[in-house]
């Protein structure tokens, strides 16, 4: 009995961790018992398809109806919409027919193989799937190709191989460069955009020579994905490590039975000796380190074990292995690396000084970037996802063949939509205050995120989500990705791009990235309620469910996947039309990496970022050293600034963030290019007072410490030295306090909101007039301090204007009514007739009759008069 209770609790805890609501978890465990799989099935499928005995089903029917009723009431449902009450409805009975499904997949893989297909039953099949399907481990012997002598015509040989094996017309220029470097035994760092075809750079060497290519990859899902694709193309490959259920695969791999061996860094460290034997036997052509940004602490996905990969150079060099004529070349590849990360990678991996850097543009010219302001909470789902609802939900209603114009709704493309803002004004202000006051939030864990739990990078096992790629056909060569990367600014091209601005998207799936597991489930359920085939994806959901989602997504049966970062790297699906980030990502690297899942077929795709721009973003919880914390803040801050930007082309800012010179003027596709920047604003007066107050504080502080030194000479005495001595001045002036002082000095600034000043502080910082005065890193400036340039600004007393493009928060503040965070401020404003008129008018318009009524009733219960009037009412009845 006792044991049962403990088990039940553990299952409930696990379900909550997966992102399910506590009440649903408790209810599921009550009905199906302490089995995770049954409970998940119960929550997702409802009682109808849960594998329960008839009696149990009927017994629980009441509970289930109650549960679904509860869910329904929490979501607003428009009349006449398609009803699909849970996120697995569209899977139909597929979850129950794993065996036949998998066999079909296996058949498809084998049928697609053109040359001696090697699809290892055990090698590429997840243990669960293996158990379910009972596929016999059947190994097809691989004839090692004879080592080719590659002469000057190697490009021709590669081209014919490429056509025969992969169906591609030709190599892209960066692939050619990377292969040329490998052929001359050089190390190579390949920096190329997401979806550009980096994998081919290390797959070709395995096909050209009889030697093995060892690929180091961070995710089992990614390794599995690539092995399945290679099998489809008739290339022998396997992956090793904890995700590999068949122990014999490792042995065979070390005997040279596979052309490509995928390993995670943890495994490669363990296999150094056997790999040395392999190098002495069949030979190793290349070590490829995919997603190499994981090496660097400056990268967004740092993996400590990646840092130990210097063992490759140490152990596979001519000094260590006398029979080698040259060090086995290293090829490192990534789509997201800043200059700092690149240097770090070369140093950490001990790559040679002559390392060839193959750098292509990070620019993805077919991606249409935009940023929208949203509270990103359940209250805004309906508004934010209305385009998806229109596209997928309605689509089914009017028939699949009919084209639906799914161009973005004009008022929704706006970064700062006014009605978006007003109704959440109070909350946002409260959050701002909360963020400002709780510096502990920035140093520790955010309660909000602790509750929800996030998918953070822990280890390769967390990502053990084997998945397959079942394209079934080669990509359309006329739509090669490379063509979209190599566009010029010719008038014709420009015209084409201008046409693209308003072009509706082709039909294809969407991925929504959210920060927490909980949101994956709530948003997926919300979309399902509108008839959309949506599914949640987070690392804690059951493996069989995730495998199913992945597969259905690749087969175009799932239209929207709502995922955490667990569905990031390695997703190579050609026709993804929209990537939506619902909440600000933690870095621009992560953002660009995830956005890169869109439009891999070269056709137009949307990358939309919804973020609450009225709120300072917080870091997701993770273990970080002090330095890592600083870096994490810097990266989050860069991302925040990207969202705040209203004047620079988004594609340009992203590409320049990675250190690339953006050769064209702008992309002509992003929201900024389409709408143009906002009207410029002369902020000379506000900047003046901002800087003057800051300078005055610094002087007062110096005097109060008896250290009048460098500023005493220029001190103009509107405050006497004695006054200064009597008061205690803190060295750093908190931005909020600074704004209070500005308001104190001049009531005309009373009506300017704190958000606006935050924006101004950011602008002044970017112009080099102020800097952060706190040693701790912050997302946005918290303790402004004058720079030398700032002191010049203060002393110059220039009259000329200071025009700036107002940032998103400044625009929001302009539309928002100012709040008064302290009682004294509220009191002060009343003296000004204009402010008084505004406030009274606002108070009247703020009155929401329904809410006030209920609030009034509750309040009345607390007062004597209220209770008496209630009594009287009852008596009179
Ligand atoms: N030379 C080529 N011609 C046409 N298509 C190609 C060529 N090389 C690769 N591709 C296609 O490009 C797509 C993306 O390839 P790949 O997964 O290697 O991208 P990637 O650069 O590794 O992206 P990511 O950084 O997102 O991992 C694949 O579907 C592949 O078939
Ligand atoms: Mg890749």
How confident is residue 6, by pLDDT bands cut at 50, 70 and 90? Answer: low
Closest atom of ligand 1 to 336 CA is 25
| Span from the CA of 480 to the centroid of ligand 1 (angstroms) | 10
Q: In which band, very low, low, confident or very high, does the pLDDT at 698 lie, cut at 50, 70 and 90?
A: confident
pLDDT on residue 842: 63
Q: What is the pLDDT of residue 751?
A: 83
| φ/ψ of residue 261, rounded to 5 | -120, 120
Q: Quick one: which atom of ligand 1 is closest to the CA of 335? A: 25
Tell me the torsion sign for CA atoms 127, 129, 131, 133.
Answer: negative
Residue 131 pLDDT > 60:
no
Ligand whose nearest atom lies closest to the CA of 229 = 1
Distance of CA 190 to the CA centre of its chain: 23
Ligand nearest to the CA of 168: 1
The protein residue whose alpha carbon is closest to atom 22 in ligand 1 is 198
Specify the 3-state DSSP secondary structure of 144: coil
Residue scoring higher pLDDT (434 or 614): 614
Q: Count Cβ neighbours within 10 Å for each residue of 615-635 and write b for 16 or more, e otherwise.
A: bbbbbbbeeeeeeebebbbeb
| pLDDT surpasses 60 at 93 | no
Give the model's pLDDT for residue 452: 37
Nearest CA owner, ligand 1 atom 8 = 197
The whole-angstrom separation of Cα 343 and Cα 215 is: 21
- Tell me: the pLDDT tens digits for 370-396? 999 999 999 999 999 999 999 987 555
Is pLDDT of 135 > 50? no
The angle at the Cα of 518, spanning 516 to 520, to the nearest 5 degrees, equals: 80
Q: Which of 32-41, 113-122, 784-793, 834-843 has the lowest mean pLDDT?
A: 113-122
pLDDT tens digits for range 642-686: 999 999 999 999 999 988 888 888 999 999 999 999 999 999 999
User: What pLDDT does residue 347 have?
Assistant: 94
470: number of CA atoms within 13 Å, CB side?
23
User: How far apart are the C-alpha atoms of 311 and 324, rounded to whole Å?
Assistant: 16
Ligand 2 centroid to Cα of residue 113, in Å, is 21
Q: Nearest-CA neighbor of 264 among 316, 219, 229?
A: 219
Residue 251 confidence (pLDDT) = 92
Ligand 1, atom 16, lies closest to the CA of 197
Residue 703 confidence (pLDDT): 75
Share of the chain above pLDDT 70, in %: 64
The answer, yes or no, to whether residue 819 has pLDDT greater than 70, is no
> How confident is the model at residue 30, as a pLDDT?
82
The residue-averaged pLDDT of 298-324 equals 88
For residue 803, is pLDDT > 70? yes
Q: 199 CA to middle of ligand 2, Å?
A: 6
In this structure, which residue's CA is closest to atom 30 in ligand 1?
Answer: 197
Question: Would you say 616 and 386 are in contact if contact means Cβ atoms under 8 Å apart?
Answer: no
How far is Cα 588 from Cα 584, in angstroms, rounded to an integer? 10
Q: Which long-range contacts (CB under 8 A, 24 or more apart) does 40-43 make?
A: 40/15, 40/541, 40/542, 40/545, 41/95, 43/15
Nearest ligand for residue 175 CA = 1
The ipTM assigned to this model is 0.99
Q: Atom 11, ligand 1: which residue's CA is nearest?
A: 197
Measured in Å, residue 194 CA sits from the centre of ligand 2 at 7
Residue of higher predicted confidence among 129 and 262 = 262
pLDDT at 333 over 90: yes
Ligand 1 center–CA 783 separation, angstroms: 46
Please state which of the ranges 323-332, 348-357, 452-461, 633-642 shows the lowest mean pLDDT: 452-461
Strands 803-804 and 681-682: antiparallel
Statement: residue 756 has pLDDT above 90:
yes
Query: Which of 193, 197, 569 to probe ligand 1 with, by most ligand atoms within 8 A of CB?
Result: 197
Question: The tokens of 42 are what?
Answer: 């119960």
477 versus 631: the higher-pLDDT residue is 631
Average pLDDT in the chain: 73
Residues 480-507: pLDDT tens digits?
Answer: 333 333 444 566 677 788 888 878 899 9
Residue entry with tokens 């309040």: 859
- Closest residue CA from atom 28 of ligand 1: 197
Q: How far apart are CA 33 and CA 576, in angstroms?
A: 39
* Residue of 192, 198, 199, 260 to test ligand 1 pocket, by largest number of atoms within 8 Å of CB: 199
From ligand 1's centre to the CA of 163, what distance in Å? 14
Distance between Cα 167 and ligand 1 center (Å): 12
Q: Determine the pLDDT at residue 702.
A: 77
| Mean pLDDT value of segment 560-584 | 89
Report how far ligand 2's centroid is from the alpha carbon of 167 (Å): 18
The CA 212 to ligand 1 mean position distance, Å, reads 21
366 and 575 Cβ atoms separated by less than 8 Å: no
406 pLDDT more than 80:
no
Distance, CA 172 to ligand 1 centroid (Å)?
10
Looking up tokens 């950011």 gives: 762
- Nearest ligand (C-alpha, residue 571): 1
**Can you give the pLDDT at residue 609?**
98
Q: Which atom of ligand 1 is nearest to the CA of 222?
A: 27
Say how many Å lie between the CA of residue 475 and the centre of ligand 2: 16
CA distance 571 to 239: 17
Residue 420, φ and ψ in degrees, nearest 5: -55, -35
The ligand placed nearest to the CA atom of residue 196 is 1
Which has more pLDDT, 722 or 319? 319
Protein residue with least CA distance to atom 23, ligand 1:
195
Asked if residue 92 has pLDDT above 60, the reply is no
Taking the centre of ligand 2 as the mean of its atom positions, its distance from the CA of residue 86, in whole angstroms, is: 33
Average pLDDT over residues 28-54: 66
pLDDT higher than 70, residue 694: yes
Atom of ligand 1 nearest to the CA of 474: 31
Q: Using the mean position of ligand 2's atoms as its centre, give its distance from the Cα of residue 336 in Å.
A: 11
Residue 570 CA, ligand 2 centroid: distance in Å: 6
Q: Is residue 1 pLDDT above 90, yes or no?
A: no
- Atom number, ligand 1, closest to the C-alpha of residue 175: 1
CA 174 – CA 482 distance, rounded (Å)? 10
Q: Whose CA is nearest to atom 1 of ligand 1?
A: 171
Pairwise CA distance, residues 491 & 484, whole Å: 16
What is the band of 134 on the pLDDT scale with cuts at 50, 70, 90? very low
Residue 749, pLDDT > 60, answer: yes
If one compares 467 and 666, the residue with the highest pLDDT of the two is 666
Band (pLDDT 50/70/90 cuts) for residue 560 is: very high
Ligand nearest to the CA of 334: 1
Return the ligand number nearest the Cα of 190: 1
- Ligand 1 residue neighbourhood (C-beta within 6 Å): 168, 171-172, 175, 192, 194-200, 335, 475, 480-481, 572, 596, 600
571 CA distance to ligand 2 middle (Å): 9
Instruction: Report the nearest atom of ligand 1 relative to the CA of 199.
Output: 18
Pocket residue to mutate for ligand 1, from 178, 192, 195, most atoms within 8 A of Cβ = 195
Are 37 and 45 a contacting pair, CB within 8 Å?
A: no
704, 718, 719 from 727: Cα distances, Å? 7, 15, 11
Closest ligand, as measured to the CA of 569: 1
Nearest CA to ligand 1 atom 24: 194
Residue 628's pLDDT band, with cuts at 50, 70 and 90, is: confident
164, 569, 572, 596: residue to mutate for ligand 1 pocket, most atoms within 8 A of CB: 572
Mean pLDDT of 431-448: 31
Question: What is the average per-residue pLDDT within 752-770?
Answer: 94
Q: 831-859: per-residue pLDDT in tens? A: 666 666 666 666 666 555 554 444 444 44
Kindly give the number of the ligand 1 atom that is closest to the alpha carbon of 162: 1
The span from the CA of 218 to the CA of 264, in Å, is 6
Closest ligand to residue 597's CA = 1
- From 112, 194, 196, the mutation candidate for ligand 1 (largest count of ligand atoms within 8 A of CB) is 196
């Amino acid at each position: 009995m006792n044991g049962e209770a403990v088990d039940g609790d553990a299952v409930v805890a696990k379900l909550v961790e997966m992102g399910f609501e506590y009440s649903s978890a408790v209810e599921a465990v009550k009905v199906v018992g302490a089995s995770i799989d049954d409970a998940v099935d119960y929550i997702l499928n409802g009682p109808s398809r849960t594998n329960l005995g008839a009696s149990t089903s009927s017994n629980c029917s009441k509970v289930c109806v109650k549960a679904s009723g509860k869910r329904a009431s929490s979501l607003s449902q428009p009349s006449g919409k398609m009803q699909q009450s849970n996120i697995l409805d569209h899977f139909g009975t597929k979850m129950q027919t794993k065996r036949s499904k998998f066999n079909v997949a296996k058949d498809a893989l084998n049928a697609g193989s053109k040359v001696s297909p090697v699809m290892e039953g055990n090698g590429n099949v997840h243990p669960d799937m293996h158990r379910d399907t009972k596929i016999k481990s059947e190994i097809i012997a691989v004839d090692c190709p004879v080592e080719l002598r590659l002469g000057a015509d190697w490009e021709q040989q590669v081209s014919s191989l490429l056509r025969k094996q992969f169906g591609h017309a030709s190599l892209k220029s960066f692939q050619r460069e990377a292969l040329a470097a490998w052929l001359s035994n050089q190390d190579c760092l390949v920096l190329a955009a997401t979806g550009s075809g980096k994998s081919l750079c290390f797959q070709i060497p395995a096909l050209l020579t009889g030697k093995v290519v060892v690929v180091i990859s961070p995710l089992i899902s990614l390794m599995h994905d690539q092995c399945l694709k290679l099998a489809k193309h008739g290339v022998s490959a396997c992956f090793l490590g904890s995700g590999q259920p068949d122990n014999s695969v490792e042995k065979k791999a070390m005997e040279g039975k596979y052309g490509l061996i995928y390993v995670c860094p943890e495994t490669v460290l363990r296999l150094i000796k056997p790999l040395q034997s392999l190098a002495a036997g069949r030979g190793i052509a290349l070590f490829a380190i995919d997603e190499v940004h994981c090496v660097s602490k400056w990268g967004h996905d740092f993996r400590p074990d990646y840092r130990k990969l210097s063992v490759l150079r140490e152990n596979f060099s001519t000094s260590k292995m006398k029979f080698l004529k040259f060090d086995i070349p290293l090829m490192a590849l990534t789509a997201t690396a800043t200059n700092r990360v690149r240097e770090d990678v070369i140093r950490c991996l001990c790559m040679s000084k002559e390392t060839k850097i193959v750098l292509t543009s990070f620019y993805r010219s077919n991606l249409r970037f935009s940023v929208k302001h949203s509270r990103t909470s359940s209250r805004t789902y309906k508004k934010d996802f209305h385009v998806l609802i229109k596209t997928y939900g309605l689509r089914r209603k009017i028939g699949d063949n009919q084209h639906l114009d799914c161009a973005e709704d004009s008022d929704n493309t706006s970064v700062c939509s006014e009605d978006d803002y007003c109704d959440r004004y109070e909350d946002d202000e409260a959050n701002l205050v909360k963020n400002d006051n709780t510096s502990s939030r920035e140093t520790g864990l955010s309660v909000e995120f602790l509750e929800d739990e996030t998918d953070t990078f822990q280890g390769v096992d967390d990502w053990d989500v084997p998945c397959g790629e079942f394209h079934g056909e080669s990509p359309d060569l006329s739509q090669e990705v490379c063509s979209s990367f190599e566009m010029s600014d010719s008038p014709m091209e420009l015209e084409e791009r201008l046409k693209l601005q308003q072009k509706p998207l082709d039909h294809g799936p969407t991925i929504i990235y959210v920060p927490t597991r909980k949101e994956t489930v709530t948003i997926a359920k919300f979309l399902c309620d509108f008839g959309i085939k949506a599914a949640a994806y987070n690392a804690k959901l059951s493996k069989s469910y995730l495998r199913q989602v992945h597969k259905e997504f690749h087969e175009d049966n799932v239209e929207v996947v709502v995922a955490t970062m667990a569905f990031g790297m390695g997703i190579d699906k050609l026709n993804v039309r929209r990537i939506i980030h619902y909440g600000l990502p933690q870095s621009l690297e992560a953002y660009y990496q995830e956005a890169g899942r869109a439009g891999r077929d070269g056709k137009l795709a949307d990358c939309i970022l919804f973020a609450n721009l009225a709120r300072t973003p917080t870091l997701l919880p993770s273990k970080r050293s002090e330095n890592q914390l600083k870096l994490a803040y810097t990266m989050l801050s860069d991302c925040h600034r990207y969202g705040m930007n209203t004047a620079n082309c988004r594609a340009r800012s992203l590409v320049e963030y990675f250190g690339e010179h953006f050769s064209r003027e702008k992309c002509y596709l992003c929201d900024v290019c389409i709408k143009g920047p906002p009207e410029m604003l002369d902020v000379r007066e506000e900047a003046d007072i901002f800087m003057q107050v800051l300078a005055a504080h610094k002087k007062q502080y110096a005097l109060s410490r008896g250290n009048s030194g460098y500023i005493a000479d220029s001190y103009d005495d509107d405050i006497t030295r004695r006054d200064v001595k009597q008061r205690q001045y803190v060295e750093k002036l908190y931005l909020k306090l600074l704004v209070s002082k500005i308001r104190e000095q001049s009531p005309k600034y009373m009506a300017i909101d704190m958000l606006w000043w935050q924006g101004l502080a950011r602008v002044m910082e970017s112009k080099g007039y102020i800097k952060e005065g706190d040693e701790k890193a912050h997302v946005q400036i918290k303790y402004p301090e004058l720079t030398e340039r700032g002191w010049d600004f203060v002393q110059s007393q220039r009259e000329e204007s200071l025009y700036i493009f107002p940032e998103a928060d400044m625009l929001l503040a302009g539309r928002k009514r100012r709040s008064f965070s302290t009682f004294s401020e509220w009191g002060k404003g009343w003296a000004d007739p204009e402010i008084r008129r505004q406030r009274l008018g606002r108070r009247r318009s703020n009155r929401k009759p329904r809410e006030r009524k209920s609030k009034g009733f509750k309040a009345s219960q607390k007062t004597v008069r209220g209770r008496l009037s209630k009594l009287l009412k009852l008596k009179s009845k």
